[in-house]
Chain A
Amino acid sequence: MPLNPNIHKVMVIGSGPIVIGQAAEFDYAGTQACRSLREEGISVVRVNSNPATIMTDVETADAVYIEPLTLPFLEQVIARERPDGLLPSLGGQTGLNLAYKLAEAGILDKYNVRLLGTPLESIKKAEDRDLFKELMRQIGQPVPESAICNSLEEAQAFRDQIGYPLIIRPAYTLGGTGGGIAYNDAQLEQFTRSGLDRSLIHQILLERYLNGWKEVEYEVMRDANDTAITICNMENFDPMGVHTGDSIVVAPSQTLSDREYQMLRSASLDIIRSLGIEGGCNVQLALDPHSAQYYVIEVNPRVSRSSALASKATGYPIARVAAKIAIGFHLDEIPNAVTQKTLACFEPALDYCVVKIPRWPFDKFSTSDRRITTQMKATGEVMSIDRSFESALMKALRSLEIGVYGLRGKGTSLLSEMEIEEGLRTLTDERIFVITEALRRGMLVEEIHQISHIDRWFLWKLSRLIDMENKLRDSRGGKADELSPDLLRAAKKLGFNDHNLGELLGLKEEAVRARRKALGIVPAYKMVDTCAAEFEAETPYYYSCYETESE
């Protein structure tokens, strides 16, 4: 179906100020969506309270309001602009909640504004715990068993049904204190009591604890014609239990078998179809590393941080396509902006590895609790692209600007054996450096895996990097112009940078650089083209790698 002819003016609500959990990704999505709508001759009205955004530039939209994001102010903007539609899915949770409240308060009906994109019913189904559970049950998708309990007896009854381990979360305590993970009766009793005690409404949520399970996300899109596609999947480096915004993430997934990949892909497509989403959606799943069992954890029925990452990782402009779908287009009617030759219904293909690492604010807040849990703490993130996980990880680490150029964190060499073990067990912003330090001290991949539950594949990759570190350190004391070309080439290919090489070899960065260039070891640049070079790309978007051929 082409453009809906009744829509001339569309209002888009932004996500407001940058807070932890809602950063620049919604400026990116909002700006792209505005352009996408205006291309179709639609007039765009923008409201946001944050002026430090491109989306609030007068050039971006036809009318821009920098006003507080509360119902009284939004109603005034609606009354003044009289938009035909409201696109709710581009302003993060803030934008979605406001659209919801505007609808509930009858303001949208009063001014005859229709909600575009994913219907409100679908959003409700995705966000309401009980409705979502029920829908998943209907379509045969497994969700982790859970129960709301008001007493120890109720908690024990639930335990009798599903067994250990269980995670206990008190309802209504900010800061999440009082809960814990129970592996036995004594712990269940302890955490249930403390959880009930801390909860303002004397209530806890009990859920099956997916200890050591893999966390995988799929970014999927669907149009009103029920065509649904996968943009990409992503895998968390850290096992379940960490907010994805606080996890190191790789795209595409690296440790899944093809069968597992296909199984989770079909689940994600079934879910987006059953929810009736028109636009983009993020599906989070947990996969048992020891069997083919999986659970659906959560669905975000909107453009999100993950979709921004997926867009940049694949070159597929999710927000742009979601906006077109919202005004009536189908996936097979929207051209791919990168290749200009393919259509938006082609699933992107990746011939490289993407790594995202969160940027945490603990360098500023020395008193803050550095533990990483289900509550997001990162203010931002970096992404890198390379041919291998190792080199992409190395690039991402030095992109963080935390004074680290390689795999050695500040102060990790001073940790005791016990502190290392604790650091492997408890996730903090520094865990990656604790792992590399453990490997450096000769701890085995298997041992680290047993403590941290991080997939062995990732740990083997880190171990390869540490092997190279050791090899380089063995060459310490030599002259720069005697540096082995093979060693240098291999190190560069793994992502070691000149500064770090200098530290390891006992040479100046400039000396390493001079030798490297003299040997002709310079990066080639590859293109991100959404289709693994199957078609020619029109929009040049590059990453470096130490291979021979540039694109």
Chain B
Amino acid sequence: MQSPASSFSPGSSRQKVIIIGSGPIRIGQGIEFDYASVHCTRAVREMGYEAIVINNNPETVSTDFDESDRLYFEPLAFEDVMNVIERENPLGVVVQFGGQTAINLARPLTQAGVRILGTQFDSIDLAEDRERFDGLLIELNIPKPPGKAVTTVDAAIEVANGIGYPVLVRPSYVLGGRAMEIVYSEHDLRGYMQTAVDVSPAKPILVDRYIVGKEAEVDVICDGADCLLPGIMEHIERAGVHSGDSMAVYPPQTLSENVIRQITDYAIKMARALKVSGLMNIQYVVEGEQVYIIEVNPRASRTVPYLSKITGIPMVKVATQMMLGRTLKELGYTSGLHPAPDQVAVKAPVFSFQKLTGVDTDLSPEMKSTGEVMGVDNQFPRALYKAMVASGFDIPLPGQKNEQGELVGHGALLTTLANHNKEEGAPIVKGFAELGYKVYATEGTAQMLERHGVACEVVRKIREPEPNLMNLLAAPDVDFLINTPERERTPERDGLRMRRAAVEHGVPCLTSLDTAQALLTALRYQSQQRVVGVRPVHEYGLPDKEKLSML
């Protein structure tokens, strides 16, 4: 279909495929989706179709007019997209790679009779509509954390009382964990329901049991029957931190075979049930040996570029081929979990807190990071070290000197831990002390540390007379801060002030004990062996030279 006044005919003998981009970069929808859109465009062209891109972000590769056969610089609202579709009359439209922006168009486009390539709208809806999704999980016999969608404050409290606190609360149909919180009491639940979110029958709130377990995620490429799982990523921080803000490692370092088998089985069952054609991402929480599904995204996810690079599987290309009718078998892939390479990859988030005055820096279910980095090496601690350094935690070891022979750091850390994890945090701080860091701690934390045999210097709290911990941060006289927030909905004002002071004086701040443990692991390794080598991406798939020479 064309505009009547048009003298232009975009027609050619080749069939056309329209790829919907991901729009402006925002927290929760970053550059990964442009990466995926570009790879889809290239795959479509390679297969002999005409690739047509619609997007409105001037910063990106996808809007480089060399990448597609035709580029439309247009808003990604239904009307603007539909106008292009009517002009081009494509074979179909790809909505899987442009993040939530593109996937949200699946419904109106389907209703307008446009052919969606890949997973159909009904499956997308099945994964995103909480009630339908719960039904599906029961049908497939896949466990999920107990919980329910509610539309009133009273119902929320009833559900929470039934499953017990803490509970994880969030609005359904959201992007980037917006307004997701862990709530520890009825008082806080009431507060959340009344102030944090708009509750209405059309906008239910999900109340789930908060499972303090490990999180893991997997991307699945499916042709409707066979499923390829390029890899499982295990999160470093425990459940409760948004997947975009947590560090993650591939291949998993601590998951048992039994857990990996459950993750794989559930993924395959889910992909088949949703008749996935292309990519899908599943998030899990693992409690002991029990795996629960917490979320399914019927589209390409943030982890696709990482896994593509480390496994060497061109995930977007393969997924695009699935959407256009090829099968995994034809392409020579076997169904199931792809064997892990010799390399370990660690992904770490990067934040822009210095620019965002007033924003709390603690890790939470609400995503806050703007970008990510990856560290790759043949051993976990080395990869971890690289990821830490690349993400800004380039912490010098005590006594480390630069080439001019000057001390690089301060050889000290400051810590103040919340009551509920003082006990758990003590051994980690002890580990840093053993590496030679001087430990400054506030009174309560110091008492606990001393009980664990860690010598530390007590510093005064913010409200106490100077010199207090703010002076340590302002100087700064410490290399990093470990501060875990208390379990309250409204962050304690002192904690927030301290974390902001750390940001403003350039002192790295860790708010999760799991991240602190990861840093300790990396620095411990670094203290034993200083040289960490570099390796080009094209050698990731090769057998590791070091390991070979050890044989």
- Which of A's residues lie within 8 Å of B, judged by CB? 16-21, 23-25, 27-28, 31-32, 35, 49-54, 56-58, 63-70, 73, 76-77, 80, 105, 174-175, 200, 305, 308-309, 311-313, 315, 317, 337-338, 356, 359, 361, 363-365, 367-369, 375-377, 379-385, 395-396, 398-401, 405, 497-499, 509, 513, 520, 522-525, 528, 539-544, 548-551
Please tell me which one of the listed residues A24, A175, A315, A549 contacts residue B60 in the complex, with CB atoms under 8 A apart: A24
In the docked arrangement, what's the CA distance between A67 and B536, Å? 9
In the docked arrangement, what's the CA distance between A498 and B391, Å? 44
Please tell me which one of the listed residues A51, A73, A520 contacts residue B309 in the complex, with CB atoms under 8 A apart: A51
Question: A20-B352, A313-B58, A364-B176 are known contacts; what are 6 more A-B pairs with Cβ within 8 Å?
Answer: A17-B370, A19-B352, A28-B60, A364-B178, A365-B359, A368-B359
- List B contacts of A308 (CB < 8 A): 58-59
Is B155 engaged at the interface, CB distance under 8 Å to the other chain? no
Inter-chain contact A522/B309, CB cutoff 8 Å: no
Inter-chain contact A513/B4, CB cutoff 8 Å: no
Nearest-neighbor residue (CB-CB) of B304 within chain A = A52
Assuming the contacts A338-B65, A499-B77, A539-B65, asked whether A367 and B5 have C-beta atoms less than 8 A apart, the reply is no
Assuming the contacts A17-B371, A49-B373, asked whether A401 and B24 have C-beta atoms less than 8 A apart, the reply is yes
Is B550 engaged at the interface, CB distance under 8 Å to the other chain? no
Inter-chain contact B83/A63, CB cutoff 8 Å: no
Inter-chain contact A20/B375, CB cutoff 8 Å: no
- Which of B's residues lie within 8 Å of A, judged by CB? 2-8, 10, 23-28, 30-32, 34-35, 38, 56-61, 63-66, 69-80, 83-84, 86-87, 101, 176, 178, 302, 305-306, 309, 350-352, 354-360, 366-368, 370-376, 386, 389-391, 394, 403, 474, 503-506, 532-538
Inter-chain contact A380/B25, CB cutoff 8 Å: yes
Inter-chain contact B367/A364, CB cutoff 8 Å: yes
Interface-central residue, A19, A338, A401, by most chain B CB under 10 Å: A401
Cβ of A32 to closest chain B Cβ, rounded Å: 6
Shortest 10 CB-CB distances between A and B: which pairs?
A380-B25, A18-B371, A17-B371, A68-B390, A359-B24, A17-B350, A49-B390, A383-B58, A380-B24, A20-B352
Inter-chain contact B24/A399, CB cutoff 8 Å: yes
Cβ of A399 to closest chain B Cβ, rounded Å: 4
Assuming the contacts A381-B58, A550-B6, asked whether A77 and B79 have C-beta atoms less than 8 A apart, the reply is no
- List B contacts of A338 (CB < 8 A): 65
- List A contacts of B87 (CB < 8 A): 525
- List B contacts of A25 (CB < 8 A): 58-60
13 contacts between A and B (CB under 8 A): A17-B371, A24-B57, A27-B61, A49-B374, A361-B356, A364-B176, A377-B355, A379-B26, A401-B101, A522-B3, A525-B3, A544-B83, A550-B8
Cβ of A314 to closest chain B Cβ, rounded Å: 11
Nearest-neighbor residue (CB-CB) of B373 within chain A = A49
Inter-chain contact A18/B534, CB cutoff 8 Å: no
Interface-central residue, B6, B64, B305, by most chain A CB under 10 Å: B64
Please tell me which one of the listed residues A312, A520, A523 contacts residue B73 in the complex, with CB atoms under 8 A apart: A312
- List B contacts of A550 (CB < 8 A): 2-3, 5-8
Nearest-neighbor residue (CB-CB) of A541 within chain B = B65
Cβ of A203 to closest chain B Cβ, rounded Å: 16
- List B contacts of A67 (CB < 8 A): 375, 386, 390, 534
In the docked arrangement, what's the CA distance between A67 and B389, Å? 9
- List A contacts of B389 (CB < 8 A): 68, 70, 73
- List B contacts of A66 (CB < 8 A): 309, 374, 376, 537
Assuming the contacts A51-B305, A382-B57, asked whether A63 and B75 have C-beta atoms less than 8 A apart, the reply is no
- List B contacts of A23 (CB < 8 A): 25, 31, 59
Nearest-neighbor residue (CB-CB) of A377 within chain B = B355
Assuming the contacts A174-B505, A542-B72, asked whether A76 and B28 have C-beta atoms less than 8 A apart, the reply is no
Inter-chain contact A24/B34, CB cutoff 8 Å: yes
Nearest-neighbor residue (CB-CB) of A540 within chain B = B70
Assuming the contacts A24-B31, A383-B56, asked whether A51 and B306 have C-beta atoms less than 8 A apart, the reply is yes
Inter-chain contact B56/A399, CB cutoff 8 Å: yes
Cβ of B122 to closest chain A Cβ, rounded Å: 21
Inter-chain contact B27/A379, CB cutoff 8 Å: yes
Assuming the contacts A24-B59, A539-B65, asked whether A52 and B30 have C-beta atoms less than 8 A apart, the reply is yes
Pair count A-B, CB < 8 A: 299
Assuming the contacts A66-B309, A67-B390, asked whether A27 and B60 have C-beta atoms less than 8 A apart, the reply is yes
Inter-chain contact B538/A64, CB cutoff 8 Å: yes
In the docked arrangement, what's the CA distance between A541 and B53, Å? 10
Inter-chain contact A50/B375, CB cutoff 8 Å: no
Inter-chain contact A513/B79, CB cutoff 8 Å: yes
Inter-chain contact A68/B360, CB cutoff 8 Å: no
Please tell me which one of the listed residues B10, B60, B358 contacts residue A368 in the complex, with CB atoms under 8 A apart: B358
Inter-chain contact A551/B8, CB cutoff 8 Å: yes
Inter-chain contact A54/B26, CB cutoff 8 Å: no
Assuming the contacts A32-B64, A382-B23, A524-B6, asked whether A64 and B394 have C-beta atoms less than 8 A apart, the reply is no
Nearest-neighbor residue (CB-CB) of A35 within chain B = B66
In the docked arrangement, what's the CA distance between A202 and B503, Å? 21
Cβ of A367 to closest chain B Cβ, rounded Å: 5
- List A contacts of B35 (CB < 8 A): 52-54
Cβ of B536 to closest chain A Cβ, rounded Å: 5
In the docked arrangement, what's the CA distance between A69 and B24, Å? 26
Inter-chain contact A523/B357, CB cutoff 8 Å: no
In the docked arrangement, what's the CA distance between A65 and B370, Å? 22
In the docked arrangement, what's the CA distance between A28 and B67, Å? 11
Inter-chain contact A361/B27, CB cutoff 8 Å: yes
Inter-chain contact A380/B76, CB cutoff 8 Å: no
Assuming the contacts A52-B372, A380-B25, asked whether A522 and B4 have C-beta atoms less than 8 A apart, the reply is yes
Cβ of A140 to closest chain B Cβ, rounded Å: 34
- List B contacts of A520 (CB < 8 A): 4
In the docked arrangement, what's the CA distance between A498 and B80, Å? 10
- List A contacts of B4 (CB < 8 A): 520, 522
Inter-chain contact A51/B374, CB cutoff 8 Å: yes
Inter-chain contact B357/A28, CB cutoff 8 Å: no
- List A contacts of B25 (CB < 8 A): 18, 23-24, 359, 379-381
Assuming the contacts A52-B306, A523-B83, asked whether A16 and B390 have C-beta atoms less than 8 A apart, the reply is yes
- List A contacts of B533 (CB < 8 A): 76
Inter-chain contact B390/A63, CB cutoff 8 Å: no
Inter-chain contact A369/B358, CB cutoff 8 Å: yes
Inter-chain contact A368/B26, CB cutoff 8 Å: no
In the docked arrangement, what's the CA distance between A549 and B3, Å? 9
Inter-chain contact B538/A52, CB cutoff 8 Å: no
- List B contacts of A369 (CB < 8 A): 357-358
Nearest-neighbor residue (CB-CB) of B539 within chain A = A63
In the docked arrangement, what's the CA distance between A105 and B58, Å? 36
Cβ of A27 to closest chain B Cβ, rounded Å: 6
Inter-chain contact B28/A364, CB cutoff 8 Å: yes
- List B contacts of A24 (CB < 8 A): 25, 31, 34, 57, 59-61
Inter-chain contact A539/B66, CB cutoff 8 Å: yes
Nearest-neighbor residue (CB-CB) of B375 within chain A = A68
Assuming the contacts A18-B31, A382-B24, A399-B23, asked whether A499 and B360 have C-beta atoms less than 8 A apart, the reply is no
Cβ of B49 to closest chain A Cβ, rounded Å: 16
Assuming the contacts A69-B390, A73-B534, A368-B357, asked whether A381 and B24 have C-beta atoms less than 8 A apart, the reply is yes
Nearest-neighbor residue (CB-CB) of A313 within chain B = B58
Inter-chain contact A395/B80, CB cutoff 8 Å: yes
- List B contacts of A175 (CB < 8 A): 357, 504
Assuming the contacts A67-B386, A524-B6, A540-B65, asked whether A28 and B80 have C-beta atoms less than 8 A apart, the reply is no
Interface-central residue, A28, A70, A76, A365, by most chain B CB under 10 Å: A28
Please tell me which one of the listed residues B31, B355, B358 contacts residue A20 in the complex, with CB atoms under 8 A apart: B355
Nearest-neighbor residue (CB-CB) of A513 within chain B = B79
Cβ of A360 to closest chain B Cβ, rounded Å: 9
- List A contacts of B394 (CB < 8 A): 68, 70
Inter-chain contact B80/A367, CB cutoff 8 Å: no
Inter-chain contact A380/B57, CB cutoff 8 Å: yes
Please tell me which one of the listed residues B73, B302, B537 contacts residue A65 in the complex, with CB atoms under 8 A apart: B537
Inter-chain contact B8/A525, CB cutoff 8 Å: yes
Assuming the contacts A68-B373, A384-B73, asked whether A548 and B352 have C-beta atoms less than 8 A apart, the reply is no
Please tell me which one of the listed residues A27, A77, A401, A548 contacts residue B5 in the complex, with CB atoms under 8 A apart: A548
Nearest-neighbor residue (CB-CB) of A31 within chain B = B61
